[in-house]
Every structure is written in C-alpha cells, then in structure tokens.
Chain A
Amino acid sequence: MQREYRFIGRETARKDGLGIVRGREKFIDDLKLPGMLQAKILRSPHPHALIKYIDTSRAAKLDGVKAVLTYKDTPPWKGGLPPHLGVLSNVLRYTGDAVALVAAETEEAAEMALDYIDVEYVPLEAVYDAEEAIKPGAPQLYPQFPGNSFPLACPWMGENSLQEVAMGDVERGFAEADIVVEGSCRYDNIPNPLPLEPPGVIAAWEGPRDLTVWSSTQTPYFLKMMLHYTMGRINVRSIAAHCGGSFGTKAVPWQLVFYAAALARVSKRPVKLFYSKAEHFAAYTLRLGSAFSGKIGIKKDGRVMAVAGEWLINSGYCSDAAQGMVAVGCGEVQLLIRCPNWAVKPKLVCTNRNASKMVRGYGGQELEAAFLPVLNLALAKAGVDPFVFFKQNYVKPGDDYFWRDGNRWVCRGIDYSAAMEKGAEVFGWKEKWKGWLKPSSVDGPHRTGVGVGVHGNADVGEDVSEAYVRLDPDATCVIYSCVSEHGTGQRSSLCKMVAEVLNIPLEAVSLAPPDSLVNPYEFGPVGSRGTYAIGSAVIRAAEDAKRKLLSRGAALFQCPAEELETKDGFIFRKDDPENKLPWKATGFDQTYMGYGRFEPDFSVPNFVMIFVEVEVDMETGKIAVKRVVGATDVGQIIDPQSLLHQMHGCLGSAGLDSAIFEESVLDKKLGRILNPNMVDYKWRTFLELPVFEAVILETPINTHLFNSVGFGEIVTSPAPSAVLMAVSNAVGRFFDTYPITPEMILQTPGKGRLKA
C-alpha cells in the first residue's frame, strides 16, 4: 500500500524553475568579480613531448597581460590517483596538454598572448591503444607507472577496494558448462558526455592559505576536501554556481582550479577560466576506453557457470577516478549476472590521449558494454532469450555480491522482476523477439531489430552525507545540504522531503546556497545517491529539528512531546488539532537546528532495464532508433517530472548513442581528436527523437521514511549494449566494437533486401 503524501510523488514546480525560464539563474560564466582576469591555456601540439625551452617574456609584455606561468613557476600542488600530476609539467602527455597559463584583462588579450610564448619541444614517441601501451618497449608516460599501468587501489573507497571479480573456481565452472564461448569486444570510442555548458571556475585568494573557488561543480563540499588535500592542506571555500549539466564530469574540476588558482596567486586578482567547446572536447573528460576479452561458460538453460577474462581499461594520459570506476564496474557486473565462478582481471592503462574521468555510468557502463556482447555469443548458442536471462539473473533480495569496498554485501532491496515484466509488456518484447540475429520485421531494405539491457548500482547508498535543518520562528525552514542544482531537481526534491516531514507548505522551505562555508559535509549528488543518501541525512535533520521543536512545545502544552504534532507552522496535540499554537509561541527569538547524517550502505541496488527497437537501412547503412522503453522501480517517486527526465537522459551524456554515432575520433598518427566541434561530434536532435515510454513502479524499498531509491546515474549504462544487440538482430551478425557505423552495416555479407 502506498502512503498518501502532501508533496512526495506529486508534481511541483522546481524551486529554480522561475529563475531558469526568466534567464536569471546564475551559471559560472554569468559571475563577475571586481578586478577579475580571464585565463587561457597554451596547449601542446604534440601527443608526447618534452619542453626543451620556453620563454614567456614577449607574452608577458603585451597590453593587458597580468600573469604568464610555466612549469618552472607553478606551485607544487599534486592531483591524480595516486597523485601524479602537478599544475604544469615539462613532460607533455597528450595533444592539448597544458604548456603555459596566461591571465589577462580580457579574453582576447589572453588568447593573443598565447601566440607570443616561445617554446621548443622534443617530441617523443606516443602510444594510444591500451594493447600497445602494455607491450614491452612501448613509450612510457610516467616512470612511476612501468608498463603504463596504474595501480588499482582506490584508497578513498577503503583499504581493500575492489580490484577484480574473483570467486569460486572458474576451471570447474567451465568444466560444468554446456557451452563455452571465447570472444572480445571493444568499447573504446571514448564518447564525450558533453554537457551543454563547458566547465569553468573562478579562483580568488582571500589570504595566503585561504582560497575561494566558484565553479560549475555539483559537489562543492567534496571539491573543497579534494582541493584541501591536493593543494597543500590549504583552506578552501567552495561555492557552486548553477550547473549547466555535468553527468559526473564537473564534480571535481581540480585541474581547472589549479590553473586558475596559480594565476590568481601571482596576479593577486580573481581569475576566471572558462573552457571553449573545443577544449571541452579535446582537453576535458571522456569516457573510459574499455575492452573485454575472455571466456564465458553457461548451461543450456542459461545459467552462467564461469566468467574469466581481462578487462583492459584505457584512461588516457592520467587517472583521477578510474580506479574507483573499475571497482564499481566490477561490483555492478555481479548485480547483472549470478555466477559462482569469476576471474575477471582489470588492467588500467595510460596512453597519450586526453583523459577519461568520472562520467555517468561510472565503470559499469564501460564494462558491460564490452562484456555483454561476448556473453550474447553464449546466449545465442544456447538459444536463450536475453530478457528472460536478465530477469533470472538480476540480483534479488538475499543475493550477495562484492562491492567496491571489497566487502561482501547481501541485497536487502526488492525483486525487480515485476518492473521487468511490465517493461517487456509495454515494449512488446514477446512479439518482437524472433531469436538471435533475426530481424523483428523486414520492409524492403529496412529491417528492424530489438535489444535489451539492464543495469543497477549499489552506490545509491555510497559515502557520507550530513545536513542541518533550521526551523525559524516565522514558520519557515532552511536546509543546509551542500548540493548544487545540475539538472536533476535534487535541490527541489530535498525541499519536498523536508516539507513533508514538517508538514509545511513547500514555499516555506528553502535551501542554503551551495557553499562549503555554511554547509556541513556532503559527498554530493552523484551515483544516484541523492534520494537515499542525501535524502536520509536531510530527513533525519528535519526529524531532529522537529523533535527539538516539539520537546519545547511539550512545556507549552504540558504533555509529552510524543503526543504533539506540527502542521503548517503550528503545534498541537494529536488528539486536539483545533487547539494549536504557532512555532513562535515557543519563543519569537528561538530557532531549532536539527542534524542528520547518513553512513554508507551498499545493500540496496537500484535498477533500470532499457528496451530498444532500431531500424536499419541495409542499402545505406543508416541506423534509426525508433522506440525506447525504460523500466524501473524506485520504491516511491519523489518528483515525477524529474524522474522522467532522468529516464530520458539515457539518450544523452555519452549513453545510448555511443553505440551508433557518438565517438571522439582520434587520429593515431597525429594524436589529435579530429572532431572537437558539435557538427562532427554527433548528438541526438529534436528530429531524431524515438518514441519513448517509461515504466515506473513503486514497490516500497527499505531505505528511509519515503522508501525510495535514486535512479538517474544508471540510465545510460544498459543502453549501448542493448542497441548493439538490436542492430545485430536487425542485420543478422554480431558486432564486437562501437560505434556501429554505416560502413560496418554495408560490409555485412548478404546485406541486400531480404525476401519478406
């Protein structure tokens, strides 16, 4: 039985909605500080080189130029995991790597100055493919990472962070299997999540060890801590502007902060650094490159007996979160597949291209997109319907898995089978599924095919959240939770939760600005943790504040606090609601501060299943996505519009379309990304919208007061492999690489018109 709520689950306008439609919401590039300078970066022409000579004197003399920095004069801050990148270096590791920094009065002056910096380079041999990078004799990017291999430990996830999927005895598993396949698949087209707003920061020093940073992050408090540790334990105040889309990529823009803060320090002025779209493409965050090759053994009925193989991950020229993504990916694959015997070994490699960093899908998308097509080979041999397979295999209450902290967790969530069934029914899976490599329908040169994918993440309960809720005598309240708005409606949803707990109008609830100076610790809205983790902290804080209010009220009503209730800013006895007193009756000068904290809990995985139908023109190779059905169960909807938005998001942020047209084209002779613009980098337009249906169930989940889990982060993950499957079925052959191009379709043997 669903409970009736006043706000939860109901459509309410976003708190920032008016600001957005009026154009008044302030994004990072809308902020201007007095005396602020603009920064620009001189970028390496070589994929791998040493700076032999650099002279900035001509640039420094130009009108309006206030600071020019090279590796010789930047502070000793260090980022990366493990720390391996300074602000600047004399070793350049990708085309676009920062060579020198300029701050000037105007953007034009800064840009002009770049051409007046004189540099001589010693080009070094470069390597781009992970397979090549680990070979003996390959060019080495860092002396401390021989074989271009990063250590896999991720200390902030725990001492024993997950570094592989290892359990049981794979040899025995293969022996027991009816069907054993070997294969490989590459998902290394390094698509770009590409939020519309490029990343940007402003840095201003308030004192020698006091830095204020404004940025487009969605996780301002986490950024503060990250900067504190990487910048020599300085004191950072981190303020978030409204964020123009992130998909994970803007959470910790530490490099931008390094650049701007270094320039701000020498110029003694605030410095803004706002990337161009070309920089956003060629010198910011890409998805991880991923390749799986290995062996999978199954029984004829589809039970998986053993999985063994290598997961090769290409992180580009550095790593700052890849180890975490590897850990989470290794966890997530276990949520998909019940298998007693595993030996999947990740290898994380650096190469001379722009970096892969934190992105929605966080390891799981990358692993599954490469792994599932190999599994499909086995399912096809056994003639097992992939929908039926996923339904049988997806983690159920009582099942266990190793999570990113290296510990074994037992699922105490819900059985998602009902949502899967409902999704399949709405999609018409039974009618459309004709078997492996069989089109659903044929019309002249056009063939349709269907595919399905599933994904879930137990990170919905990751990390720590803290919050305060303050009740004011005027019957309003303020939430202190260090979350900025990046499109998920999270700030508004937190207000709804608190309004519900306190039973006051939504208008009476506001949220303190996303500023680390005023808010307690908050890891931030990532990994779909907003609803459960942040929500729990905020709910607890509201309950705590309410408890304090009512215990003061107990004196007024001369009864135990437990007998009191509050609504719309009044206190009353539950058995006598007419006889009420306003909050301020407890003191016109009295506020109540409640505190709430959430501790990590990896026992409640969330879930999404994506069904897709594609149409392939066999004569031209054009692939059209015709229909998408997304199915989930979120326990309890908090905000219907926001939830639906998240579901639709599977078409964006380097998700579904990374199977057909999204890719960063890397020229492996020059080491340059050839398509750093929004014409050659393809994205979905209004004229290419598939029919989209969402199936959202609400089976209460054991999380918090509202029995709800978050969902946004996972939606892109199942989509690429589902599309690959759909195209395979339409065309009649398997694919082992992304994206599927017209060229690949046209190379299909017997590609002509099928006889109907």
Chain B
Amino acid sequence: MKPFRHINVPGVAEAVDYLNKFPGSSRLIAGGTDLLGVLKDDILPAYPELLINIKAIPGLDYLREDENGLSIGALVKLAFLARSPLVREKYKVLADAARSVGTPQLRNMATVGGNLGQETRCWYYRYPHGIGGRIQCQRKGSGPCLAVGGDNRYHVIMGGKGCFAACPSDLATALAALEGSIKTEGAGGGRIISIGEFFHPLGNALKAGEMIVELQVPPLPAGSRQHWLKYTLREPVDFAVVSVAVLTVLEAGICREARIALGAVAPGPLRALQAEQFLKGKEPIPEVLQEAAVLAVQGAKPLSKNGYKVEIARVLVLRALEASFAGHK
C-alpha cells in the first residue's frame, strides 16, 4: 500500500473538521474493510493524503429503540447488528442483511456507516492498478462506462445513467424496506437523507466534508412481517447478484401494506412501488403474488449480459413475498 498520513479523531466535529481541511485528499476510515482494498489496488486517480480514523470516536456505536424507532450509530459493527436480539426479533431484514455480508471476520470489523459509504464493486472500476494500470471510467470522472459494451453480468438492470455499477450495500436494501434514513454531520450542520435518496448513479449524496453518524428506522407498522433473500453464486463472501427485502402487513387475510426493496439491480436500493400498490387490499393468493413479482421488475432494461438478473429478481420477489405472508399465520 502506498503511504498516507493517519489521524485518530476524538469526535465527529473533529472528523468533519479534518475532512474540510483536506478536501478531496482525505478519507474517513472506519472498519477499513472496503477502503483498504481500494487503496491497496490503487484504483483511484487521486490517492488520499490523509486517513481520518473515526473508529475511536466514543459513543458512536449505539443501538437504541424508542418511540421514534431504531437508531444505529455509524460505528456499530455488522457482527453486532446481526447478533442483536432486538434487531433479529423486530428488524429481521436488517439483521439478515448484516449477516449476509462478507465473512465472519469482515463482519467483526465492518461498520454500518462504512457499509453505506463503500465503493461499488464494478470490476472495471475496481481493476487493480498493478496489472497494467487502473481503468478510467465515467464514475472516475473520465471516459465511458466500460460495462455497457463489456461484461456486465453483475451490473444494473434499472436506473443506470452514465455509470451502470450496482449498489453493493446489503444494508441499503434492508433499510429501504424499512423506510430508513441516514443522519449526517457536515460543516454546515447535519441533515437526514432518506435511504432512497442516498445513492445515485455516480456515487452517493454525501457532500464533501460530510459524514454518516446514524442510521434511522422509523417505527414499524403494527403486525408487520419481513423477509430477506440474497442471491449469490455461493455462500458466503459474495456480493448480491440480486437481493430482496420485503415487509408485509396482513389483516383479516388482506394485504394492508407491502414494501418490496430490490438490491444490486440499480445504483441504489429500489422500491418496487407499482407492485406494492398492486398488492394493497388484495388477498395474497399465488396469482396475486406472481403478478406482483412481474410488476416488480417491469421496466427493467437489462444490458447485454445481465438479463438473467431480471428473472432472478422476479423469482426472489415472489419467494420473499410468499415467505413474508406465510409468516403472518
């Protein structure tokens, strides 16, 4: 790894301060599981001068539930989230998503903030500098997206624009089904970004000098059930080819609410609003669920080699809905 300077910060204010003092040439480091890979492969045109270690900031690894819902400090480790009885009990998709990330050792190190902040795994973007030089592309600020005319088997089937890299974060998918949001701090103060607004085709909504301090999940609809599915070629280690998180509410045999979030199919987690709308007020019989699953992937525009993802997404939505509704009994 090429050299950098490193500083431990005692608080969020100092972290934000350093980010602003070294605009563009500093990076936050939390668990380091994504960042250090990025630096070792030297994939970015600009190598950071300074790493700002936020891991030692006290009190940023809390997990709290109150009448406003669940709050998760940015430094909460994925292993902790996955094991937490509260999260497993009530926010199942979040626990399952966390548990599906990487490997046990990675989850012991990785933080929830870093999970949302991580860079895409597009293999053109990630191509190591050591083997003939990094690949320039739209996301890095110059050149076209090479996935379009290249091997795009893992790329987006919806919502790509300029760049067709898929959102790698599993937590994002789960958060989307829970209608969660992200609380940040920055030079100009903090703000709340809903998870649906956080990712865009070329990166995320964080401004220079802004950091994630908390994930928020609003109170759950009464009597809701959840289900998480992640499709990979093998388990574990893999990023999702497609993931699905659903939340359902069933009253007297009728669907009162359904939320369907798709992961790894778009630049960010994607809510299948049409399908959700369709389900409302209906009895979740097989034909209805099948129709909903079809609606969930309607409008997909696959690239040359990822049409299969549409089919997998459809089946995963169907299976997740089946399982979630079955949970109401």
Query: Residues on A close to B: CB < 8 A?
Result: 43-46, 95-96, 108, 111-112, 276, 278-279, 282-283, 619-622, 661, 665, 667, 669-670, 672-680, 682-685, 687-688, 741-743, 746-747
Contacts and interface: CB of A to CB of B under 8 A. Distances in A.
A747 B312 CA distance: 12
A661 B233 contact: yes
Interface string B217-237: 000000000000001011111
A675 to B, nearest CB: 6
Contacts of B149: 669
A682 B131 contact: no
A276 B41 CA distance: 10
A680 B1 contact: no
Contacts of A282: 131
Interface in B123-157: 123-124, 126-128, 130-133, 135, 146, 149-151, 153
Contacts of B280: none
Interface in B104-137: 121, 123-124, 126-128, 130-133, 135
CB-CB nearest 5 A-B residue pairs? A743-B308, A45-B132, A674-B123, A278-B128, A282-B131
B251 interface: no
Contacts of A620: 231, 311-312, 315-316
17 contacts: A43-B131, A45-B133, A46-B132, A95-B132, A96-B132, A279-B131, A619-B311, A620-B316, A621-B308, A665-B151, A667-B146, A669-B150, A679-B238, A679-B239, A682-B233, A683-B234, A743-B153
B5 interface: no
A278 B130 contact: yes
B329 to A, nearest CB: 20
A676 B312 contact: no
A96 B131 contact: yes
B167 to A, nearest CB: 16
A743 B132 contact: no
Given A670-B146, A674-B123, A679-B238, A619 B2 contact: no
Given A111-B2, A112-B2, A620-B316, A743 B131 contact: no
B203 interface: no
A680 B316 CA distance: 22
- By CB atoms of chain A within 10 A, which of B126, B153, B234 has the most? B234
Given A667-B151, A680-B123, A687 B131 contact: no
B237 A685 contact: yes
Given A279-B130, A743-B153, A682 B234 contact: yes
B307 interface: yes
B305 A743 contact: yes
Given A665-B123, A670-B146, 11 more contacts: A112-B2, A279-B130, A621-B308, A622-B233, A665-B151, A672-B135, A674-B124, A674-B151, A676-B131, A680-B123, A742-B233
Interface size band for B: 35 or more
Interface of B: 1-3, 41, 121, 123-124, 126-128, 130-133, 135, 146, 149-151, 153, 231, 233-239, 241, 305, 307-308, 311-312, 315-316
B132 A672 contact: yes
Contacts of B234: 661, 682-685, 687-688
Contact of A278 (B41, B121, B151, B312): B41
Contacts of B135: 670, 672
Please report whether the interface of chain A is mostly helix, strand, loop or mixed according to DSSP.
Answer: loop
Contacts of B133: 45
Contacts of A112: 2
A683 B233 CA distance: 10
A742 B308 contact: yes
B118 to A, nearest CB: 12
- By CB atoms of chain A within 10 A, which of B127, B150, B153, B315 has the most? B127
Nearest to A671: B132
B130 A276 contact: yes
B179 to A, nearest CB: 27
A672 B150 CA distance: 11
B315 A676 contact: no
A687 B236 contact: yes
Contacts of B1: 108
A112 B2 CA distance: 7
Given A45-B133, A46-B132, A665-B151, A743 B307 contact: yes
A679 B121 contact: yes
Given A667-B150, A670-B150, A43 B308 contact: no
- By CB atoms of chain B within 10 A, which of A670, A673, A688, A741 has the most? A670
Nearest to B126: A677
B262 to A, nearest CB: 14
Nearest to A665: B151
B103 to A, nearest CB: 9
B142 to A, nearest CB: 15
Contacts of A669: 146, 149-150
Contacts of A684: 234
A676 B238 CA distance: 14
A672 B131 contact: yes
Contacts of A96: 131-132
Nearest to A112: B2
Contacts of A108: 1-3
Given A674-B127, A676-B128, A680-B123, A685 B307 contact: no
Nearest to B154: A680
Nearest to A680: B123
A746 B1 CA distance: 42
A745 to B, nearest CB: 9
Nearest to B231: A620
A460 B3 CA distance: 50
Contacts of A667: 146, 150-151
A456 to B, nearest CB: 30
A672 B127 CA distance: 9
Contact of B312 (A621, A677, A679, A680): A621
Nearest to B241: A742
B312 A742 contact: yes
Contacts of A45: 132-133
A109 to B, nearest CB: 10
Contacts of A674: 123-124, 127, 150-151
Contacts of A670: 135, 146, 150
B235 A278 contact: no
A496 B46 CA distance: 58
B45 to A, nearest CB: 12
Given A620-B315, A688-B235, A95 B308 contact: no
Contacts of B123: 665, 674-675, 680
A43 B121 CA distance: 23
B290 to A, nearest CB: 12
A389 to B, nearest CB: 32
A676 B43 CA distance: 13
A59 to B, nearest CB: 15
Nearest to B128: A278
Given A620-B312, A743-B308, A283 B238 contact: no
